[in-house]
Amino acid sequence: MRRSAACFGRTSTVAVVLGAVVALGAGCVPASPDANTYRDAASQSIGTAVSELATIEEMLRLLASDDIMRPAVVTQLRYSEDGLEKSTQWFTGLNPPTGSDGFGKRVGTLLQRGGNLLTEARIAVHRGQVDRYTRIADDLKTLGDHLDKVEGRLS
């Protein structure tokens, strides 16, 4: 499964316990990648974002129609926000190679927008603002579709 390829946070704790195998599993990429590796890193981060955004979008819609319990959504938001943030931080921390025509910056911006939307979702769920769920879900869908298009242009 595609995992947010961050080298920090929970993956480093894992590396301590599971050793070298997991360090390799974290899929670390050098901080100054070449063009291909950078494109792969962008793809990976977009994939993570799409997955988290779609998950929360789906859960918000279910919450709006009272088809899911709030604790489950709260729990998932915790993971999704955290996972997307780590992925965003990792990707924006990479040095884009020369001639990458700035797509890295565009991707970074989109990832950050995704993080903000998830935060908005978390606040709305915590406050029980049912009327906002569908709107946030629609925003998540729009952003997700946009990210899909960007990824399509990358490959």
Partner 1 sequence: MKKYLGVALGILTAIGGFVDIGDLVTNAAVGARFGLSLAWVVVVGVIGIIVFAEMSGRVVAVSGRATFDIVRERLGPRMGLVNLFGSMAVTLLTFVAEIGGVALSLELATSVWEYLWVPVVVAVVWIVLWRVKFALIENAFGLLGLALVVFAVALWQLQPDWGHLWHQAAGVEKPHAEEWSTYAYFAVALFGAAMTPYEVFFFSSGGVEEEWDAASIPIMRANVFIGFPLGGLLSLSIAAVATATLLPAGIDVQTLGQVGLPVAMALGKLGLAVAILGFFAATFGAAAETGLSVGYSISQYFGWQWGKYVTPVQAARFHLVVLLSCVLAAMVLLTTIDPVLVTEASVVFSSVALPLTYLPILMVANDPGYMGEHRNRGLSNALGTVYLVLVVVASVAALPLMVWTKMGTS
How far is the C-alpha of 64 from the C-alpha of 62, rounded, in Å?
A: 5
DSSP 97: P
- The answer to whether the CB of 133 falls within 8 A of the CB of 60 is yes
First-to-last alpha carbon distance for the chain, in angstroms, is 19
Tokens 């899911």 sit on residue: 68
- The answer to whether the CB of 18 falls within 8 A of the CB of 84 is no
DSSP 22: H
DSSP 96: P
Query: Site residues for partner 1, window 36-75 (CB under 8 A)?
Result: 44, 47-48, 50-51, 54-55, 58-59, 62, 66-72, 74-75
Q: Which listed range, 25-33, 104-112, 113-121, 132-140, lies at the site for partner 1 (CB under 8 A)?
A: 25-33
Query: Site residues for partner 1, window 77-136 (CB under 8 A)?
Result: 78-79, 83
Minimum CB distance to partner 1, residue 108 (Å): 20
Work out whether 148 is an interface residue with partner 1 (CB under 8 A): yes
Q: Report the residue number, 102 or 152, with the smaller CB distance to partner 1.
A: 152
Binding site for partner 1 (CB under 8 A): 1-3, 5, 10, 13-14, 16-18, 21-22, 24-27, 44, 47-48, 50-51, 54-55, 58-59, 62, 66-72, 74-76, 78-79, 83, 144, 148
